[in-house]
């Protein structure tokens, strides 16, 4: 049975495995919130964002979602002489996505857009992807970021 802890372990191990030899680090995580809470409001509260009124969500496809997962799990490893497109890496992404979909009972996936538009603030990271999954019983925020 897939649990939230199981998904968090996968995300955490992928973040640790990808950590560069630099003065920044990767953070991958998933948070659960109720349907009654607006997704941008949850994100603002969860990350204590200041003065961010330009936070919207755009629907994305499963394909786009798995591309984002692949980028964060394996696309950062080019400097480690690892081919991110190896079949076993693609399979790991698909397995993670199937587990995530099974756990969340996903109805729709959204990508946060316009975060800190026009500003050079790094509250959410140097590079990031924040995704919102509308599930059957709860909603989920899954995120990938590089922090400095």
Distance of CA 31 to the CA centre of its chain: 10
How far is residue 57 from each of residues 12, 91, 102, measured CA to CA in Å?
25, 28, 22
DSSP state of 115: T
Q: Return phi, psi of residue 70, to 5°.
A: -60, -45
How do the pLDDT tens digits run along the chain, 148 residues long? 899 999 999 999 999 888 777 788 899 999 999 999 999 999 988 988 876 667 888 999 999 999 999 999 987 655 455 666 778 888 999 999 999 999 999 999 999 986 666 665 677 888 899 999 999 999 999 999 988 7
DSSP state of 80: G
Which residues are paired to 130 by β-bridges? 143
3-state secondary structure string across 107-130? CEEEEEECCCCCCCCCCCCCEEEE
How far is residue 87 from each of residues 12, 74, 92, 100, measured CA to CA in Å?
22, 12, 9, 20
Kindly give the pairing relationship between strand 25-33 and strand 108-113. Answer: unpaired
The structure tokens listed for 1 are: 């049975």
Q: What is the pLDDT of residue 79?
A: 45
């Amino acid at each position: 049975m897939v649990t939230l802890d199981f998904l968090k372990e996968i995300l955490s191990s992928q973040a640790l495995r990808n950590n560069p030899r630099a003065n920044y680090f990767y953070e991958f995580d998933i948070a659960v919130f109720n349907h009654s809470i607006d997704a941008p409001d949850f994100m603002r509260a969860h990350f204590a964002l200041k003065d961010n009124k330009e936070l919207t969500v755009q629907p994305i496809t499963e394909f786009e979602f798995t591309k984002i997962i692949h980028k964060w799990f394996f696309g950062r490893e080019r400097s480690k002489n690892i081919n991110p497109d190896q079949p076993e890496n693609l399979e790991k992404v698909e397995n993670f996505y199937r587990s995530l979909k099974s756990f969340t009972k996903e109805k729709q996936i959204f990508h946060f857009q316009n975060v800190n538009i026009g500003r050079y603030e790094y509250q959410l990271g140097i590079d990031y992807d924040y995704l919102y999954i509308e599930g059957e019983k709860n909603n989920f925020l899954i995120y990938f970021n590089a922090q400095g």
